[in-house]
């Protein structure tokens, strides 16, 4: 999930406070492995005091309730004792609020627990390559063009035009470029629909409350989302926001799980690194993405996570693109993921002589997001609701997929072979550069 690379608002997601209290040592170790500097002992201290205060407040409430409903006392008698009790309740409530806020401030920064097999490491350099597909990394007997050069040659990508009307980080896709994006989108939606993922075209904007609930905050100094001025709306960074928002505060039947969704939306991100990385389609402010979102039971989530990875691989296998699979290390997991795999496709135009570049990401967030979103499920009519597990994975991020297709399949004259699965959608098997102007 690309989004977890963004700085997260502390508080967007959380662990259960009782779990942290009962497993303070394990939680502290997990924080250390994930590179999160947190004083768990301090949390335990505050939380313990918070509980005590909560108890005292409940006692006072009980006494007040008994007084108010007492039949053998006059209103005057009630009034005197009642005022006293109200003052006690108010002071306890104030104390409780403070403790609660302090405890939450710490709790909200505690990351999810980690799969025991995830590699322990500090940053993306410690991510572990666990596999590659059978497509060989191509070699070329001619000078390699990057996708920007190819796009220009074909007249299908116009970054200057995008810059003119919306600023750097925006672009036009034209002619076969526009058709290629639509073909890829169609292919991915069909592909996932056949595998049981119900296509959803979602709003591209969401209320601030949904942004908050799903952990993508529209406010604050580290915000990475665009807000609509004068409206309670922001542009979404991924359809995960609207899709999770759709299920927020619901109790599902176990029989309906897992829910498999293929979400299609535009994605908007304000992030933008400087330099070479900003070139072309690789990192942009707006792109289109087909996202897989699954809501599952705890029993199902590990298997579903493998399924999501398998789907991502199947998409890129079908596109005949070389890629490697990374098992993301503890320090690079972000806050919500229990385990995460990335696919990096080979991009011949990247760096010097080509580099792998991230094209998909799939996370098992276990119950971490569900707790915040308040998405639960019930086994039987008499059972208590439990938090679901949420998972997500990139079906296809159109911009980056096009980078990989253009760069890997280029030929000496700048022609680009199209993967077989796109022939029917495109009505052609290759892109040929337009004739150079005289």
Partner RNA sequence: GGACGGGUGGCCGAGUGGUUUAAGGCAGCGGUCUUGAAAACCGCCGCAGGUGCAAGCCUGCCGUGAGUUCGAAUCUCACCCCGUCCGCCA
List Cβ neighbours of 339 (8 Å cut-off, separation of 6 or more): 114, 115, 117, 118, 305, 327, 328, 333, 363, 364
Catalytic hit among 234, 320, 400, 407: 400
Distance separating alpha carbons of residues 27 and 46, to the nearest angstrom: 16
How big is the site for RNA, counted in residues (CB under 7 A)?
A: 30
Return the range that interacts with RNA (CB under 7 A); candidates 23-31, 113-121, 320-328, 381-389. Answer: 381-389
**CB closer to RNA out of 176 and 367:** 367
- How does DSSP classify residue 363? E
Candidates 2-10, 151-159, 376-384, 406-414: pick the segment binding RNA (CB under 7 A).
376-384
Q: Which of 109, 179, 269, 339 is catalytic?
A: 269
Q: Which of 9, 50, 283, 339 is catalytic?
A: 283
Instruction: Kindly state the smallest distance separating residue 38's Cβ from RNA, in Å.
Output: 21
* 91: contact with RNA by CB under 7 A: no
Q: Binders of RNA among 212-241, rule CB under 7 A?
A: 232
Q: Which of 22, 41, 86, 168 binds RNA (CB under 7 A)?
A: 86
By C-alpha distance, which of 129, 110, 130, 128 is closest to 33? 110
Contact between 423 and RNA per CB under 7 A = no
List the one residue from 23, 64, 186, 286 that touches RNA (CB under 7 A): 64
- Shortest Å, Cβ 82 to RNA: 2
Contact call for residue 266 and RNA (CB under 7 A): no
Binding RNA (rule: CB under 7 A), the pick from 275, 382, 412, 427 is 382
Both tokens assigned to 14:
């959380």
Distance CA 112, CA 16 (A): 10
Q: Does 54 engage in binding with RNA (CB under 7 A)? A: yes
| Beta-carbon contacts of residue 70 (< 8 Å; ≥ 6 apart) | 78
Task: Report helix, strand and coil shares of the chain as percent, to nearest 5.
Answer: 45, 20, 35
Q: Show the site string, 27-46: x = touches RNA by CB under 7 A, - = not.
A: --------------------
Instruction: Please tell me the distance from the alpha carbon of residue 420 to that of residue 203, in angstroms, as a whole number.
Output: 32
**Interaction between residue 62 and RNA (CB under 7 A):** yes
In angstroms, give the least distance from the CB of 210 to RNA.
Answer: 10
The question of whether 358 is a catalytic residue gets the answer yes
Positive/negative CA dihedral, 162, 163, 167, 169:
positive
Quick check: is 219 catalytic?
no
85 lies in the binding site for RNA (CB under 7 A)? yes
Nearest residue (CB) to RNA, 275 versus 381: 381
- Whether 270 and 225 have beta carbons less than 8 Å apart is answered as yes
By CB under 7 A, residue 248 contacts RNA? no
Nearest to 135 by CA among 432, 390, 404, 422: 404
Distance separating alpha carbons of residues 433 and 436, to the nearest angstrom: 8
Q: Where are the alpha helices (DSSP H) in 40-158?
A: 40-68, 75-107, 147-154
Choose, by CB under 7 A, the member of 381, 427, 436, 437 that binds RNA: 381
Using the contact rule CB under 7 A, the part of the chain among 64-72, 196-204, 318-326, 398-406 near RNA is 64-72
Residue 283 appears among annotated catalytic residues: yes
Q: Would residue 361 show up in a list of annotated catalytic residues for this protein?
A: yes
- Closest to 365 measured CA to CA, from 397, 396, 333, 394: 333
Burial class (CB in 10 A: 0-12, 13-18, 19+), 390: buried
Please, what's the b/e burial string for 51-67 (b: 16 or more CB within 10 A of its CB; e: otherwise)?
A: bebbeebeebeeebeee
Binding-site member from 376, 377, 422, 431 for RNA (CB under 7 A): 376
Please give the helix or strand (H or E) that residue 202 lies within, else none.
Answer: none
Stretch that binds RNA, among 74-82, 150-158, 177-185, 219-227 (CB under 7 A): 74-82
Taking the C-alpha atoms of residue 81 and residue 73, their distance in angstroms, rounded to an integer, is 11
**Catalytic residue set:** 269, 283, 358, 361, 400
The contact set with RNA (CB under 7 A) reads 18, 51, 54-55, 57-58, 61-62, 64-69, 75, 78-79, 82-83, 85-86, 207, 209, 232, 251, 376, 381-382, 384-385
């Amino acid at each position: 999930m690309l989004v977890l690379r963004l700085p997260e608002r502390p508080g967007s997601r959380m662990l259960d406070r009782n779990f942290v209290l009962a497993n303070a040592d394990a939680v502290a170790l997990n924080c250390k492995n994930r590179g999160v500097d947190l004083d768990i002992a301090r949390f335990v201290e505050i939380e313990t005091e918070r509980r005590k205060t909560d108890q005292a407040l409940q006692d006072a409430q009980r006494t007040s309730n008994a007084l108010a409903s007492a039949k053998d006392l006059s209103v005057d008698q009630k009034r005197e004792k009642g005022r006293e009790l109200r003052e006690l309740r108010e002071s306890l409530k104030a104390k409780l609020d403070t403790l609660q806020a302090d405890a939450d401030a710490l709790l909200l920064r505690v990351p999810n627990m980690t799969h025991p097999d995830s590699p322990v490491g500090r940053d993306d350099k410690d991510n572990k390559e666990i596999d590659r597909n059978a497509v060989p990394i191509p070699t070329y007997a001619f000078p390699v063009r990057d996708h920007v050069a190819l796009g220009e040659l074909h007249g299908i990508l116009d970054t200057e035009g995008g810059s003119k009307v919306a600023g750097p980080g925006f672009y036009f896709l034209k002619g076969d470029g526009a058709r290629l994006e639509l073909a890829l989108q169609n292919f991915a939606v069909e592909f996932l629909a056949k595998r049981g993922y119900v296509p959803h075209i979602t709003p591209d904007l969401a209320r601030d409350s949904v942004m908050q609930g799903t952990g993508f905050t529209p406010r604050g100094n580290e915000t990475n989302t665009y807000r609509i001025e004068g409206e309670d709306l922001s542009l979404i960074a991924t359809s995960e926001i609207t899709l999770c928002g759709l299920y927020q505060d619901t109790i599902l039947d176990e029989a309906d799980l897992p829910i498999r969704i293929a979400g299609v939306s535009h994605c908007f991100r304000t992030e933008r690194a400087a330099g070479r990385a900003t070139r072309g389609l690789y990192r942009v402010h707006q792109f289109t993405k087909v996202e897989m979102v699954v809501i599952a039971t705890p029993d199902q989530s590990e298997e579903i996570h493998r399924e999501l990875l398998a789907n991502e691989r199947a998409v890129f296998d079908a596109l005949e693109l070389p890629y490697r699979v990374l098992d993301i290390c503890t320090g690079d997991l972000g806050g919500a993921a229990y385990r995460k795999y990335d696919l990096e496709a080979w991009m011949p135009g990247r760096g010097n002589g080509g580099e792998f570049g991230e094209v998909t990401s799939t996370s098992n967030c276990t119950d971490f997001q569900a707790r915040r979103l308040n998405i639960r499920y019930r086994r039987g009519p008499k059972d208590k609701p439990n938090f679901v597990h949420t998972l997500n994975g990139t079906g296809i991020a159109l911009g980056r997929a096009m980078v990989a297709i253009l760069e890997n399949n280029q030929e000496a004259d700048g022609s680009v072979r199209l993967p077989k699965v796109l022939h029917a959608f495109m009505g052609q098997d290759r892109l040929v550069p337009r004739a150079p102007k005289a």
